[in-house]
Amino acid sequence: MYKNKNERASNRPFTYERVIVFDYDNTLVESVGTFEKDYNLEKFIKDNSFWNNLFTKKLPLAYSINNFFYDGLTLVVIHTARARRWWFPIVLFLKGIKYHELIQRPPANSQNSAYLKKWQLVKFLQEKKIGTEVFKIFVDDFKPNRDQIETIGFSVYNADYYNLKE
């Protein structure tokens, strides 16, 4: 009838055992530009084009994310501090990266990524009515992001370890 639990009728509530939130840059794919080295946001915005994103290299976690998507027990979220772009879901589709929810930076928001991600995840959990009974996992390569998200009840994991960079 259904391929997995995620394909239920729209009037039935979703029930997940866990939520896994993945960062995008240097977690699922190599980052475009050098923002995480030089923190030059203007340069990153220029480098962050559809064309440049098509040729970024997928990392090992980009292959394992699909296993979580298809297990039917996990809500898979991609959470990036990149500014919202209409073409970003197309890039994910072309790279074969499956997800249920995509969270991007709102327009004209210049908040640092750690506080932005914390605020957006709190809002996301409230909107989806995800309580304490659900196991919440956050995977990111940037330690300040992991430290902030840990304060709201997520188990955090270093993406560099799972991408064999450490």
Helix 143-150 and helix 113-127, axial crossing angle in degrees, nearest 10? 40
What is the pLDDT averaged over residues 36-63?
79
Read off the pLDDT of each residue in 62-89 and give the average, rounded to a whole number.
93
Measured distance CA(166)–CA(154) in Å, rounded: 22
Write down the domain spans for the chain: 5-31+59-162
What residue type is assigned to position 44 of the chain?
A: F
> In the predicted model, what is the mean pLDDT of residues 96-115?
91
The sheet that has 135-140: what strands, in order across it?
101-105, 74-83, 18-22, 135-140, 155-158
Cα–chain center distance at 92: 11
Which pLDDT band, with edges at 50, 70 and 90, does 9 fall under?
very low
pLDDT in tens, 121-146: 999 999 998 888 899 999 999 999 99
Predicted confidence band of residue 86 (pLDDT cuts 50, 70, 90): very high
Reported pTM:
0.85
Share of residues in the chain with pLDDT > 90 (%): 60
Residue 107: per-residue pLDDT: 84
What is 5-31+59-162's CATH number? 3.40.50.1000
Cα–Cα nearest to 56, from 100, 22, 25:
25
Confidence of residue 33 (pLDDT cuts 50, 70, 90): low
pLDDT at position 67 over 90: yes
Rounded average pLDDT over 96-111? 91
Rounded CA separation 125/2 (Å):
26
- Where residue 35 falls among pLDDT bands split at 50, 70, 90? low
Distance CA 99, CA 49 (A): 21
**More confident site: 77 or 1:** 77
Pairing of strands 135-140, 101-105: unpaired
CB atoms within 10 A of CB 99: 22
Cα-flanking dihedrals φ and ψ of residue 10, to 5°?
A: -65, -20
Question: Band of the pLDDT at 81, cuts 50, 70, 90?
Answer: confident
pLDDT bucket at 2, cuts 50 / 70 / 90: very low
DSSP at 91: H
